[in-house]
Structure formats: C-alpha cells, structure tokens
Amino acid sequence: MSGTVYLVGAGPGDPELLTVRALRLLQQADAVVCDRLVGAGILPYINPAAQFHDVGKMAGDCRHRQEDIHQLLLSLAGTCARVVRLKGGDPFIFGRGGEELLFLSGHGVPVEVVPGISAANGCAAALGIPLTHRGVAASVRFITGHLRDDAGLELDWSSLADPTCTLVFYMAVANAAEIVAALQRHGRGGDTPAALIHAGTTEGQDWTVASLRQIPQLVSGFKPPTLLVVGDVVRLAQRAWSVAGAGQRLFRDAAEPCAPVAA
C-alpha cells in the first residue's frame, strides 16, 4: 500500500508564513523532496529523521529533470507513509504541482495539496503593495517571465495593457528588457510604476521601485528569483512606508520615487 504525497507550499520565505498544516506535515514527514526556492529558514522545521532530497533546479541545470522528480516521488510513496513535496510559494502557481498531481494520481498514489502564500502575495505585502486597490487596480495577473524550453515570451501582450490590472511577472530577470519593451509597445506607459523584488519577506530582501522604462537598466543588480510588479498600486508602497515607517531596514533606496496615489 502506497503512502501519501503532500504537495506543500512553503510560502515566500519567512518561516512564520507557513500554514499550520504545512508545519505539522514537515514535523511528521518520513521523506521530504525540496525545491531550491524554499526559504532556508524553513528547513530546520523538517523532521530530522526524515529522508531529505534536494531537487532544486537552476536555469541550464539538467540534473533534476521533472520526469526524474516524478519517479522519485513515486518510489518514495512506495516505502514511506508521509512524503512531503516542498515547494516555494504555492505549489499550484508556477510550481509544477499540477504536473506532479496528475502523474501521481495516474499511478494510484494518494495526493493532498496544501496551499501556501504565493511569492506574489507575500513579496508584494512585504513592501506594502496591495495587488488590487479600489479605484486603482480592479484585477491582478500572474505571468511567467520564462517559458518552458526557452520558447520565448509568446504572450497576449495587448491583453496586458489594461492600466487597471496589476501584473506580476515571475522569473523576470532574464527577459526583463523584452517584457518592458513589449508592454510599452502595446500601450503600457513608460512612466508606469514598477518594482523588482528579490527574496521578499526574508532578511535578505532586496527591492527597488522605478518607472517601467528604467527596469531594464536596474535588473542587472538582481539575482533570480526576482519578481517584477507593474502597475499603479506600486505607488501605494511608498505611502505606506511614510505612514508606518516599519521594516525599512530591509529596504534599499528606491530608484525613482513615484507620485502617491490619492486616498
């Protein structure tokens, strides 16, 4: 009889943002299969007696193919009662959790999905950026900035031109210049506020706020994984800091201050 695989979202990095369910599973796990984007501060919460498998992938690194991870999970489910597949953010938002769910379910392995705070939600909140805001942004879209097999950014750019929609690009470093050029070409103004965020919610958090047109010159100072947030809601961050003054030791100076959004 096979064990259960738990697809667990570890959140954006701060261990205090783990769900209670995620924490309990980490403490009870017989085996943990861990992604590279899981915050280092979360690892001490894993059952020390559990098997630990690091399957983190980096661009151009073929050591941990997705097919190999599937087979590892299947093998572990045959010998372990509780297998935790630990992923940064949420397993169903650019985490390939859906692929793993389909594979394991197709082989008769019970799977439970444990959602996590997504990188977009967590990192934006850490800077005081609301992804939606009445009168400013009526919707938000999560977009991958790096497509499978380096196929290029084949996106419906015209649909991303709506100024009332906040855009969050995951894995945005490599293609930031292409993203910015395409957005401006299809109607997003070059003065649209934008933010680059690396390691959000952690002590290593790094960020900058600028106009959209400045992003290609600034992105070279950021390491993957970095989020690119585009939209007028970015202005609200600076307003929140000026009122609360909290957490500023984690932030570096903004590249280009943005005009505040009216209340």
Q: What is the pLDDT of residue 251?
A: 37
4-114 homologous superfamily? Tetrapyrrole methylase, N-terminal domain (3.40.1010.10)
Residues classed as catalytic: 35, 57
How does pLDDT run across 177-217, given as a tens digit for each residue?
Answer: 999 999 999 999 999 999 999 999 998 999 999 999 999 99
> What global pTM score does this model have?
0.87
- The answer to whether 4-114 and 119-243 have equal CATH topology is no
What is the three-class DSSP state of 252?
A: coil
Q: Residue ranges per domain, the chain?
A: 4-114, 119-243
pLDDT (tens digit per residue) in 140-174:
999 998 655 555 677 889 999 999 999 999 999 99
DSSP, res 238:
H
- CATH class label, 119-243: alpha beta
CA distance 200 to 141: 19
Average pLDDT for residues 25-38, to the nearest whole number? Answer: 97
pLDDT at 240: 54
Residue ranges in the chain assigned as alpha helix (H): 20-28, 66-77, 97-106, 119-126, 176-185, 215-218, 234-244
Contacts of 252 (CB under 8 A, 6+ apart): 206, 207, 208
As a whole number of angstroms, the distance between CA 31 and CA 21 comes to 16
